[in-house]
Amino acid sequence: MLGYYILIGGIALVSWLVSSKLKQKFAYYSKRQLSNGMSGREIAEKMLADNGIYDVEVISVRGQLTDHYNPKNKTVNLSEAVYNQRNAAAAAVAAHEVGHAVQHAQAYGALQMRSALVPVVSVTSGMSQWLVIGGLILGAAAGVGMGYWIAVAGLVFMGFATLFSFITLPVEYDASNRALAWLKTKNMVNQQEYEGAEDALKWAARTYLVAAIGALASLLYWALQVFGGRD
């Protein structure tokens, strides 16, 4: 277990560093006011209209960095700062979330796969590690009957979460690419503002990358504990 705690501690440290850097970037670019004077809400609504999407609503939600697109009720949910502010960070986030709405409207394959996994992961992710540990206690590492199969079931459940994390990567990167392309081609931002939006989204994407690597590392560690002790 010591090795697991070291692994998780290392991943948590990297995640914290990336998250802290992301917050610093957004704080910095939040001070750069947009030359077009548009708020995050206005940016989102214009990008939706430019993509021929008229059945998605842009709404404000509480919290910081709580922005997301909800495909179930077709809403672009922007945190209060992004919704109201008129800066490069707000433009980047608003356009990114609309990028997900565009993916949904165009039936983007990776987004459909991620959406299909949501109900599965919501059920399995919370119990996967406990199943593996329980199976190991019952003798999975020695290949003992029921304990082994309980641990394998836990690994399968953990595998769904890992798959979800990796499918999330192309979804997030594609949404950012769509956002940046639209901001540039529609002349929504000047060159300096564009570079700020690009930098902010780059750090946002790294949080998903760290999460995916962490999920894979955890899966491999527990798989080694289950299968490594068998003859």
Catalytic residue at 97?
yes
**Nearest in space to 231 (alpha carbons), one of 159, 148, 155:** 148
Helix-, strand-, coil-residue percentages of the chain, each rounded to 5? 75, 5, 20
Q: How far is C-alpha 19 from the geometric centre of its chain's CA atoms?
A: 12
CA angle 174, 175, 181 (to 5 degrees): 85
Cα–Cα distance for residue pair 82/105, rounded to 1 Å: 23
Residue in the structure block whose two tokens are 């996994």: 117
> Do residues 161 and 215 make contact, with C-beta atoms less than 8 angstroms apart?
yes
What are the beta bridge partners of residue 69? 76
Judged on CB neighbours under 10 Å (0-12, 13-18, 19+), 62 is exposed
What are the beta bridge partners of residue 59? 77
- What amino acid is encoded at 162 in this protein? T
Residue of 42, 97, 172, 193 marked active site: 97
User: Known catalytic residues?
Assistant: 97
